[in-house]
Amino acid sequence: MLPFIRKDLAELTAYTPHPGGASGESTHSQSVLDRLDTNECAYDLPEELKQKLAWTYQQLIETNRYPDGGHAALKQAIAQYVNESLNIPPLNNGESLNVPPLNNGESLNVPPLNKGESLNVPPLNKGGLGGVKPPQTAITADNISVGNGSDELIRSLLIATCLGGAGSILVANPTFSMYGITAKTLGIPVVSVARREDNFEIDINAAKRAILSVDEAPVGAGCANDQNQNPPVRIVFVVHPNSPTANALTTNEIEWLSTLPENILVVIDEAYFEFSQNTLADRLHQHPNWIILRTFSKAFRLASMRVGYAIAHPELTAALEKIRLPYNLPSFSQTAAEFALAQRQLLLAVIPEIIAERAKLIAALTQHPTLQVWPSAANFVYLRAKATEGASIEQKHQQIMQQLKERGTLIRHTGGGLRITVGSPEENQRTVDRIAAILT
């Protein structure tokens, strides 16, 4: 290792991008692969929208000029969308976003999803909230911060709260690995607690003990996992619904988050909100120490554009604006996100199909007695092999993942189990058939 690089980085394992398997492996293949390992949407943007984006790039975007460094138009569009999802009337006199036409001067003619009603997706796990409620105050552009993917926002939050020995973070594993990885790259300690094995609810009592033990321990007071040597917990990260286990936050978990003191930031990652229709955005006005993260990489089909956003108290978003790098989001990415929001009725119309496909995928996988499959409130399914004689569970997971890969299906081995993205009907059928062939 080069002598000028921090020694703690030598022990850090970097995040492995897709496809599943060895790090650095090419994403290109001579055979067609069903890429069900990264929770992307199975459907690309409609051709008409792609054509309009191409026209905009050619005619309106000046590549020799920096992008809008303040993301003004995009923030306003995001605020309108968030309010719409919370049943709040539009803030701009009811007018929709002003986006150029897509088809030879005419806009896309997309019928409403439910006879004029917005997308109504029922609650997807018994512990979830089961819908949204109107907040007391509407979201404005001041409540929004935009990042180059949610990863940039996560990093900025860590810098704003924990850098320089100011704090630790708390995570409940298994969960999204980038919270811990990003913290460790910044030299920030990570305090981990477990989840219940039956439904993956956070072990709240363990979380309470962990926070108290870190806050109350004298500097240098050691313990078996060195947890007491860490600075106080300043961020609690949760995902709603969680990745990789797909369970939404329960009422008990939300009540616990509500009791955390104001000197602890609660980060609620709602990357899969459009699939669950469960959100805590309606409670932000009650909790200035809460922040919600969302992304355009999933339901909005813009994974390649790397656009994420945060919803929070204006003082917190102002702090994020101080930390983020200048011109962090390219003009083309901002334009694509604005177009996606303007055509959200079209893009989100596929969600009922994804939810139906998810149900079929879970039903088919549950038929195998050697697999344990959990309910899902997201666009992916989580499962584990059951313990039997012979190979260990982790060996079985590796074998299933590798054999699926050899047959043309990529899935993710993470969190002590297997995560499978819900793909197109054809991809899902191939997944079911290939797993059946492997397990029989």
The confidence score (pLDDT) of residue 80 equals: 95
Please state, in angstroms and rounded to a whole number, the distance separating the CA atoms of residues 368 and 362.
Answer: 11
pLDDT tens-place string over residues 55-90: 999 999 999 999 999 999 999 999 999 999 888 765
Please state, in angstroms and rounded to a whole number, the distance separating the CA atoms of residues 325 and 87.
Answer: 34
Residues of the chain where predicted confidence (pLDDT) is lower than 70: 1, 18-31, 89-136, 215-228, 389-390
SS3 category, 349:
coil
The confidence score (pLDDT) of residue 227 equals: 45
Residue length, the chain?
440
Q: What is the DSSP string of 81-118?
A: HHHHHTTPPPSSTTPPP----SBTTB------TBTTBP
Please state, in angstroms and rounded to a whole number, the distance separating the CA atoms of residues 272 and 37.
Answer: 15
What is the pTM assigned to this prediction?
Answer: 0.84
The confidence score (pLDDT) of residue 30 equals: 52
If you ran DSSP here, which 8-state letter would residue 195 be given?
A: B
Report CA 165 to chain centroid distance, whole Å: 27
Angle among Cα 184, 189, 191 to the nearest 5 degrees reads: 115
DSSP-assigned beta bridge partners for residue 291: 267, 312
Residue whose structure tokens are 């499959």: 373
Q: What is the DSSP string of 197-246?
A: TTT--B-HHHHHHHHHHHHHSPTT---TTSGGGSPPEEEEEEESS-TTT-
